[in-house]
Structure 1
Amino acid sequence: MKTFSVPTRVYSGDDSLKVLGRFRQRKIWIICDGFLATSPLLERLKQALPADNPLSLFSDITPDPTIATVVKGIEQMQALRPDVVIGFGGGSALDAAKAIVWFSRQQGIDIETCIAIPTTSGTGSEVTSAFVISDPSKGIKYPLFSDEIYPDIAILDPTLVATVPPAITANTGMDVLTHALEAYVSPRASDFTDALAEKAAQLVFRHLPTACRQGDCLITRGKMHNASTLAGIAFSQAGLGINHAIAHQLGGQFHIAHGLANALLLVPVIQYNAADNRARKRYARLAQVCGISPAQCDERQAVNQLIQRIEQLKNQCGLPRYLRDLKVGANQLEASIPAMIVAAQADATLKTTPRAATAADIREIIEALL
């Protein structure tokens, strides 16, 4: 038996921040990073909130939020006891907000509403039952999953992502595509998640190059924002796979942006997974749905065409193809591989990968990035 539910209420469009007007006389705590704390976007958020709401700010969020950051946030939440928590920013800020709220609730500290407002189009964290926190001392990222992690409200305002730089737009957009692909070939995929993953992939292939090239096009930005959320719902229900299991380790070991780590891995992972009959059929079907391959195309040919289209998309967005392009040398990688393999095998996302992977398989996928 499979289940499907979306506990998060989603508001989208360039006027969606107006929904914040419903909150009156509430203690509101905003969680964001240091850059957003001094940006005009934060002022826009504050202006959307009625003046009778006391506001507090926690802006210690850094990329790949750490256990120490989450602990500090929990301590502040215990002191403030807010009614409403707003996670505002990219995946790191949203994950940190969700982690702080979830751990606090485990300790009996509750809030009325948890709101997620993304300022990048990539992680889908605004609608997922997961967050990722890191331990820099070990170079490991830990993904946690629970139905209690879902935010209550997600606000998708495309005007908040209009100034995101092309490189970040590309990285986060490839994260969306990875979410869609992994959800699509997951053993837990269903008709419901397939529909979401297919639409998300279609939107990425069509709109990501324009979003990178012409960031102020709000129609395009809105499409990528929607794609991120659609893929987020899909993988939250169906799960991810080996692409993310290894990407978490690349990020932890070499501080590579998560979306870029996923983009580097996409082709070798598809080639690995496509040895599985079911996964190959589903990759081929997705290629056809996205207009990459003609109907009734040979499965292997369709998979190759999907790979070629992904490589084309990465080129259009100016993304590197190999770790050496990021100044990660062969010796440096080789020294890290044993620990990366162990951590990838323990990563929760590996549970829903379509093809079981041995240590040797994981090593081969990683070495393909040189």
Structure 2
Amino acid sequence: ANEYSDGQALQALKLLKEYLPASYKEGAKNPVARERVHNAATIAGIAFANAFLGVCHSMAHKLGSEFHIPHGLANAMLISNVIRYNANDNPTKQTAFSQYDRPQARRRYAEVADHLDLSAPGDRTAQKIEKLLAWLDELKTELGIPTSIREAGVQEADFLAKVDKLSEDAFDDQCTGANPRYPLIAELKQIMLDTFYGREFSEAVDEEAAAPAAAKAAVKKPKK
């Protein structure tokens, strides 16, 4: 991402926030809203053609190919959990971008919330991200987007039989390398599982790393 693509992406989001619900509900009866949504889609395309995409598209490519889910729908179902995954200042692994020496996604999501007038004065970064996620959930409800991959018609047995291969293929997708947080295959699998069941993504606990700390905490201090 850069100053050029940032401005285009933010403008596209602003247009979609203002006009997408009306375009969806009113269709040809509201040609202005339709025009603005078409413009937003084109502006967004210019932005991601220059800044590229990330793991939301990587997973959507594989879900769409395997289960015949339209690409936009797959992205819409995944996006909230991808934001939760990316909004981490201490990721397992950071993608190497020469212009950044530390993770940027969490701060940038907060800036999106500011740009869309979702945040309030005094909000902390975490609050802004939660408001961004809440708006996305409201928008998806307005647009009739399923709340889970299962609700979109994918059978549980079919999904569970293929989720390991889907995760591996998503990791190898061309979009993965540009994601702000470089994923593990297991992390992509967790995002897809959570999205299948309609759960919020949360960081998995590293049991091997947590065990020594838990054991240490369990040791009672000797009496003086």
Fold-level similarity (TM above 0.5): yes
Q: Residue 32 of structure 2: which of 216, 219, 230 is its match?
A: 219
User: What's the offset of the Cα at 1:329?
Assistant: 2.4
Secondary structure, counterpart of 2:151 in structure 1: helix
Measure the CA separation in 1 of the matches of 2:79 and 2:121.
23
Are 1:271 and 2:84 matched, yes or no?
A: yes
Measure the CA separation in 2 of the matches of 1:292 and 1:339.
38
Which residue in the other structure is 1:324 paired with?
150
Are 1:312 and 2:138 matched, yes or no?
A: yes
Q: Name the structure with the higher strand share.
A: 1
Residue deviations 1:108-159 (CA, integer Å, cap 9, x gap): xxxxxxxxxxxxxxxxxxxxxxxxxxxxxxxxxxxxxxxxxxxxxxxxxxxx
Residue deviations 1:280-329 (CA, integer Å, cap 9, x gap): 10000011001111245210110010000000000111111101212212
How many percent identity over aligned positions? 35
Measure the CA separation in 1 of the matches of 2:55 and 2:122.
28
Which residue in the other structure is 2:201 paired with?
none
Residue deviations 1:234-280 (CA, integer Å, cap 9, x gap): 00000100000000011011000000000000111000000134101
User: What's the offset of the Cα at 1:332?
Assistant: 1.2
Which residue in the other structure is 1:203 paired with?
15
Output the TM-score relative to the length of structure 1.
0.48
Measure the CA separation in 2 of the matches of 1:324 and 1:196.
34
Secondary structure, counterpart of 1:326 in structure 2: coil
Q: Residue 65 of structure 2: which of 252, 258, 264 is its match?
A: 252
Measure the CA separation in 1 of the matches of 2:73 and 2:105.
23
Output the TM-score relative to the length of structure 2.
0.79
Map 1:152-301 → 2, pairs under 5 A: 189-216=1-28, 217-276=30-89, 277-301=103-127
Measure the CA separation in 2 of the matches of 1:296 and 1:349.
35
Q: 1 or 2 for the larger relative contact order (CA 8 Å, sep ≥6)?
A: 2
Measure the CA separation in 2 of the matches of 1:235 and 1:296.
31
Number of residues of Structure 1 aligned to a counterpart in Structure 2: 182
Measure the CA separation in 1 of the matches of 2:31 and 2:147.
29
User: What's the offset of the Cα at 1:221?
Assistant: 0.7
Residue deviations 1:9-55 (CA, integer Å, cap 9, x gap): xxxxxxxxxxxxxxxxxxxxxxxxxxxxxxxxxxxxxxxxxxxxxxx
Measure the CA separation in 1 of the matches of 2:122 and 2:55.
28
Which residue in the other structure is 2:172 paired with?
346
Measure the CA separation in 2 of the matches of 1:295 and 1:192.
27
Map 1:79-94 → 2, pairs under 5 A: none
The amino acid that maps onto 1:302 is: K
Instruction: For structure 1, list consecutive stretches of 5 or more residues without a partner in the other structure.
Output: 1-188
Map 1:7-156 → 2, pairs under 5 A: none
Q: Name the structure with the higher helix share.
A: 2
Secondary structure, counterpart of 2:175 in structure 1: helix
Measure the CA separation in 2 of the matches of 1:293 and 1:247.
29
Measure the CA separation in 2 of the matches of 1:364 and 1:338.
10
Contact between 1:193 and 1:233, CA under 8 Å: does it hold in 2?
A: yes
Measure the CA separation in 2 of the matches of 1:300 and 1:330.
33
Instruction: For structure 2, list consecutive stretches of 5 or more residues without a partner in the other structure.
Output: 90-102, 198-224
Which residue in the other structure is 2:207 paired with?
none
Are 1:302 and 2:128 matched, yes or no?
A: yes
Secondary structure, counterpart of 2:161 in structure 1: helix
User: What's the offset of the Cα at 1:330?
Assistant: 2.2
Q: Residue 335 of structure 1: which of 161, 169, 173 is its match?
A: 161
Contact between 1:288 and 1:295, CA under 8 Å: does it hold in 2?
A: no
